[in-house]
Amino acid sequence: MKHFTQIKSAPQDLQDPQAGPFNGHKQIYFDHNGSTPCSPAVITAMQQYLDHGFGNPSSGHWASQPASEQLAMARSRVANLIGADASEIVLTSGGTEANNMAIKGVWVMAARKGAHFITSAVEHDAVLRVHRFLRSLGAQVTVLPVDRFGVLDPEDVVRAVRPETVLVSIMHANNETGTLQPIAQISDVLQDTDVLLHSDCAQSVGKILVDVRQLGVDMLSLAGHKFGAPNGIGALFIRRNVQIAPLLHGGGQEGGRRAGTESALLAAGLAEAAKQATLEISYNVRVLRDYFWQELATTFGTRVSLNGHPINRVPNTLSVCFPGQVGASILGQMPHVAATTGSACHAGCIDMSHVMLAMGASTEQGIGTIRFSLGKTNTMQEVDHVVGLLKVIID
């Protein structure tokens, strides 16, 4: 593990005597791909259900009606956000449950051990580990490679399809690099098959235009906390006439597709966040993201490189590599900056992320990676501050 010099004092306008453990530094949040803060409007929308929303949405009396109406509103606004119909939206606890529901639901409906699934090497663990579990039950799983930008070739999907193939599950935007996959093209090459297409869109919904009809997907997973809703709620789009087995059995909520008493409180937050999600916000974040990269490139030259596709990526994500450095050590020297690395530390050892490995990155590139993911609350001043800190640390 490398050691770095002490951070110099922050500029006066970014010092905050109330900041606590970070020696007066103002806290900076550059981890919006991890989770996003709730806006005041989202908090206000949820407040009434903390005060009065105690009714069970399924009870059918006066106390349950407001909660039931709020659930319907959440489905309607999510559907509007992704170009679907409200009847095609199933509320879940988040993206992980939605992914599990889609993939395992197809496995159960297939009702045969030899069923074949196709996915990619850069998927989130909430997809890769589900496939790994199904493989232990007898499923066949093909994990397709990506190029150096992290992009899958749709023709590889065609070549991987077999008579027993039941599902292709490919993410829309990568959580580490932001790279976008050609989902619409993958849908096109599957047109003459009976294979279903599922896409994990947790990192794209609310950041770019996502339309289920244009993408051509049969199922789509989203996570509310990635675009301004609270943690603990998400949704699965299931195209009309697509049948999958429920992951949870019980009271028959969500049209019998997802049992369990729904939360009107979380649904209120999801509904408001879906309402607020606009392309104008993404445009402003893109400008800040591109400014951040330009400042890094100007400051460090060949000592910094960009991970992922330079153009086809979501507008808020900036994954960069500082060759010869250790991303975790850099972030450890500026604890007031919330960002993540492209590697994981376990008992003193550094493991590269599976995404960087799949892209063919060297060990040096993998452990030198930092992901900055921006949001609408970030400022140019914060970018300047972080670039200044990085210069002190790396130089």
Q: What is the DSSP string of 32-83?
A: TTT--PPPHHHHHHHHHHHHS--S-TTS-STTTHHHHHHHHHHHHHHHHHHT
- For residues 45, 47, 52, 55, the Cα torsion angle rounded to the nearest 10 degrees is 60
C-alpha 354, offset from chain centre: 16
List of residues 6+ apart from 199 with CB closer than 8 A = 169, 170, 171, 172, 181, 183, 215, 217, 219, 220, 221
Task: State the catalytic residue, choosing from 38, 201, 321, 345.
Answer: 345
Q: What is the DSSP string of 135-172?
A: HHTT-EEEEE---TTSPPPHHHHHHH--TTEEEEE--S
CB 169 within 8 A of CB 105: no
CB 194 within 8 A of CB 203: no
- 3 Rama class: left (phi>0) / alpha (psi -120 to 50) / beta: beta
C-alpha 120/C-alpha 142 separation (Å) is 8
CB 30 within 8 A of CB 317: no
- Whether 321 is catalytic is no
List of residues 6+ apart from 14 with CB closer than 8 A = 25, 26, 381, 382, 385
* Number of neighbours of residue 367 by Cβ within 10 angstroms: 29
Alpha helix ranges (H) inside the chain: 40-51, 65-82, 95-110, 125-136, 154-160, 183-189, 212-215, 264-276, 279-300, 327-332, 354-358, 363-367, 380-394
Q: CA–CA distance from 339 to each of 29, 108, 330, 372 (Å)?
A: 7, 39, 10, 6
The residues annotated as belonging to the active site are 345
